[in-house]
Structure 1
Amino acid sequence: MLKRFFPILDWLPNYKKEYLQGDFSAGLTVGIMLIPQGMAYALIAGLPPVYGLYAALVPNLVYALTGSSRKLAVGPVALDSLIVASGLAAMKLATTQEYIAMALFLALFVGLFQLAMGFFKMGFLANFLSRPVVSGFTSAAALVIAVSQLKYILGLDIRALGTLETVVEIGQKVSETNFLDLGIGVAAIVLILFFKWLHKKLPAAMLVVVLSIFGIYFFTEQIGQVSLVGDIPKGLPSFFLHKGDSMQWVSAFPIALTLAFISFAEAMTMAKAVEEKSNEYYTDANQELRALGFSNIVGSFFQSYSANAGLSRTAVNVNEGAKTGLSSIVSAIVVGLTLLFLTPIFSFLPRAVLGAIILVAIYGLIDFKLPVELFKQRKDEFVLLALTFLTTLLIGITQGIIFGVVFSLVLLVNRISRPHIAVLGRIKGTDYFRNVERFEEEAESFPNILILRFDAQLFFGNKDYFKRQLLYQIKKKQPGLEYVILNAEAINYIDSSAIASLHQIIGELRGQGIQFLIAGAIGPTRDIFYSSGLIEILGQENLFVRTQEAVDYCKSLKTKNSIQQKIALQSKTKMNM
């Protein structure tokens, strides 16, 4: 039981000596990455840089104990930081201390949501984030993040909150650009790209941070006025006691719910990708929710804002040979040592360098390929992606993901309310029945028989569409139509509204002298025929195993043999009656 909630109890006793080198190397590399990334992402969240280091410490350790994925690297991430910033900005908190306290309270709230979702086994909810929604949301969020960092690159004092407002204010103040900040920012971007080009495994961001700190430390007087990170508190985070009131819970509810949902979807997507690549362990979606929940709850009491698995850090973790959660423990130790001994050095770090690190990192979040593919192949999903992208970019981060999910559900409802319906014909010389539109020359039809296949469950949302299409095809086939055969192989469920509609359809057709037959119904569907009483209206003689048997019956009134009769009418409901 304990292993279920603390997977470390599973991998630690079975730890192999050969894992140590990969875990240590990955942990050290990710720890070095976390230092500049953590401070940069804290700026996105509107927090002092040290809170990014706090978010890289305790949540990382807790996840190493509780996460079912052994290779995810947990800490602050750009997208979640942006959601925190946009959510808290809308609350218009009066002071910096109130803002920080609310960010920490939000982490607690997010963790409680994730923990509850994990215990109630709601991991399946991540499935409602379709690929177009994720792509549109992430690409727009990347642009929002990029715009938010321009003020550091340009050295401008920008007070606007929204993306468009920020762009307008930057345009108005562009003449006030601090060219020293701009030069440092551009140089940092070029150097990061150069180091990445030189060798993929080089800690490019950390190297640029070190170079910029040395440059500022030794040449401050020559350089002049540069916007720096400033004093960073030294030491490990102290215990923080939340003082949230009822109004804070109400205000934070939509932000926390969105953040809990988004961060889990991000983490689970990465965890599954890593699991499939390594094939060394199983990732439990519900335990991942619980692990992220524990990480955020415990972290919030040690001054951490919302943490999640980072894509770039996880990729490095895997590439460096991480095998277990020990790599996360090593990376947390690196961050802890930095907080204990090195924070005074980082006070010389230019904010433009952190902005440059963010701009390079978020470029990979922009998906250029999928929109082009969808535009060529799936126009409806392209529209979904575009709507999510524009909503996120122009209205807001929270609204973007909410509208994206709503748009997805609308598209899903539209599809299932108008499913594919095919008129079938028999392929000449065989007993195969296929769509006559696809096999115009090979398929033969029968003047007095209409064979229809309905490729979805039949329920209240599509029963009227089914009836309209059925009556339309009957009208095309008349006069001379005597039989309608419904191929029900693809129908796995029929609800009470659809049953009532079938009652009506069968009665109307009989009034026109047309017999209604059903072929290929699977077991659960046959159970519904019996439990609903539809079998009495339809008649047992009109239920067939295969379409060919139904056609033979219509052509010569050939009765079913005992085996056909038994299979066609088999039902659990009937057996229990």
Structure 2
Amino acid sequence: MAIGRSFAIIKNEQIDGNKEMIAYGFMNIIGSLTSCYLTTGPFSKTAVNVNSGCKTPMANVVQGFCMMLTLLFLAPIFSYTPLVALAAIIMSAMLGLINYEEMYHLYKVDKFDFAICMAAFFGVSFGSMDIGLLLSVGLSLLRALLYVARPAACKLGRLPNTSLYRDTEQYPETMSLEGILVLQLGSPVYFANCSYIRERYINEEDAVTEYRTEHILLDLSGIVNPRIEVLEKMTLAKFVDVLGKQAFYLSIEEAIQSCRFTMDTSTKEEALGSSKTEDVV
């Protein structure tokens, strides 16, 4: 299936995995009745067919007929062909499958994806197909565990002349809001990553030195489908009642406006209190 999908991407085509599995199963059942070899989708043969311009499965029928004639009449001649010559034919067809531009793009965009790509490449080249798949799948699982244990958390800023908030590292032109720190969490929270998230938020708050942080907004739009156990515990703990319904907002802009109103109100009250004190003195 992986071989078929890789060639489908090259040809910008779509394949149905269920139909492919049904076809392989049906061919193996029929072949078992005649003591036939196991039917699979070999990588080298597929590469040769694609590079030769084959378009339909009829090419396999023609190829099988030609192979039968070759084995019957030309086998003694091909018996003297060196194996290195046959290997060169297969390798020349396989070189066209290596996408150097995509590998360079992975290196520039995500080093971990590039490491997985290289592990699969060298595992298949110097080991076997199974070793390459095991290395790539193992590293992919490791990456998934790392992303869950250390979720993406970033500081948001507002884009100029818009109401959009984006990561300040990816968009340096974003503007920070004085007195308000907006943080975004992009994955669910559970026991394995709660400490990391707490430390990350504390570090982001301590990194702000231009002004005193009065409000911290948490954008939890990236957390989808929370577990029912978590919701039950939050309900029993009266999480909403403790924080108050006024602490929850449907959008970042709505929360920003509320924080600004609170800050302006407190500033006016402080100014009014100081003026009354001066009058008394």
Runs of 5+ in structure 1 lacking a partner? 1-263, 504-528, 559-577
Match of 1:133 in 2: none
Corresponding residue to 2:254 among 545, 549, 556: 549
Corresponding residue to 2:150 among 414, 418, 434: 418
Which amino acid counterpart does residue 164 of structure 2 have in structure 1?
Answer: Y
Corresponding residue to 2:245 among 540, 544, 547: 540
**Alpha-carbon distance in structure 1 between the residues aligned to 2:243 and 2:108:** 45
Corresponding residue to 2:165 among 433, 440, 443: 433
Q: 1:460 to 1:295 in 2, by over 3 A?
A: farther
Q: 1:442 to 1:470 in 2, by over 3 A?
A: closer
| Conserved 8 A contact 2:123-2:131 | yes
Match of 2:78 in 1: 349
SS at match of 2:77: coil
SS at match of 1:484: strand
**Alpha-carbon distance in structure 2 between the residues aligned to 1:487 and 1:359:** 57
Corresponding residue to 2:27 among 274, 287, 295: 295
Q: 1:283 to 1:421 in 2, by over 3 A?
A: same
TM-score relative to the length of structure 1? 0.38
1:283 Cα shift? 2.8
1:469 Cα shift? 0.9
Runs of 5+ in structure 2 lacking a partner? 264-281
Q: 1:344 to 1:314 in 2, by over 3 A?
A: closer
Which amino acid counterpart does residue 305 of structure 1 have in structure 2?
Answer: L
| Conserved 8 A contact 2:47-2:94 | no
Q: 1:294 to 1:548 in 2, by over 3 A?
A: same
**Alpha-carbon distance in structure 2 between the residues aligned to 1:474 and 1:494:** 26
Q: 1:289 to 1:422 in 2, by over 3 A?
A: same
1:273 Cα shift? 4.5
Match of 2:205 in 1: 474
**Alpha-carbon distance in structure 2 between the residues aligned to 1:475 and 1:396:** 51
1:330 Cα shift? 4.3
Corresponding residue to 2:140 among 382, 405, 408: 408
**Alpha-carbon distance in structure 2 between the residues aligned to 1:493 and 1:331:** 52
Q: 1:394 to 1:362 in 2, by over 3 A?
A: closer
Q: 1:327 to 1:371 in 2, by over 3 A?
A: closer
SS at match of 1:451: strand
Q: 1:388 to 1:531 in 2, by over 3 A?
A: farther
Higher relative contact order (CA 8 A, sep 6+): 1
Which amino acid counterpart does residue 36 of structure 2 have in structure 1?
Answer: Q
Q: 1:444 to 1:480 in 2, by over 3 A?
A: closer
Q: 1:344 to 1:466 in 2, by over 3 A?
A: same
1:304 Cα shift? 0.8
SS at match of 2:178: coil
Q: 1:421 to 1:327 in 2, by over 3 A?
A: same
**Alpha-carbon distance in structure 2 between the residues aligned to 1:389 and 1:306:** 25
Match of 2:89 in 1: 360
**Alpha-carbon distance in structure 1 between the residues aligned to 2:39 and 2:122:** 25
Q: 1:437 to 1:405 in 2, by over 3 A?
A: closer
| Conserved 8 A contact 1:423-1:452 | yes
Given the alignment of the two structures, is residue 312 of structure 1 paired with residue 47 of structure 2, yes or no?
yes
Match of 1:463 in 2: 194
Which amino acid counterpart does residue 347 of structure 1 have in structure 2?
Answer: P
| Conserved 8 A contact 2:47-2:93 | no
Q: 1:293 to 1:422 in 2, by over 3 A?
A: same
Which amino acid counterpart does residue 269 of structure 1 have in structure 2?
Answer: S
SS at match of 1:492: coil
**Alpha-carbon distance in structure 2 between the residues aligned to 1:484 and 1:412:** 29
1:544 Cα shift? 1.3
**Alpha-carbon distance in structure 1 between the residues aligned to 2:7 and 2:160:** 50
TM-score relative to the length of structure 2? 0.70
**Alpha-carbon distance in structure 2 between the residues aligned to 1:538 and 1:335:** 76
1:343 Cα shift? 1.4
1:316 Cα shift? 5.6
Q: 1:412 to 1:329 in 2, by over 3 A?
A: same
Percent of paired sites with the same residue: 19
1:452 Cα shift? 0.6
Which amino acid counterpart does residue 473 of structure 1 have in structure 2?
Answer: E
| Conserved 8 A contact 2:160-2:173 | no
Q: 1:300 to 1:265 in 2, by over 3 A?
A: farther
| Conserved 8 A contact 2:155-2:168 | yes
Which amino acid counterpart does residue 74 of structure 2 have in structure 1?
Answer: I
SS at match of 1:283: coil
1:435 Cα shift? 3.0
| Conserved 8 A contact 1:427-1:444 | no
Count matched residues: 255
Corresponding residue to 2:178 among 442, 446, 453: 446
Decide which moves more: 287-296 or 326-335. Answer: 326-335
Q: 1:352 to 1:368 in 2, by over 3 A?
A: farther
Match of 1:265 in 2: 2
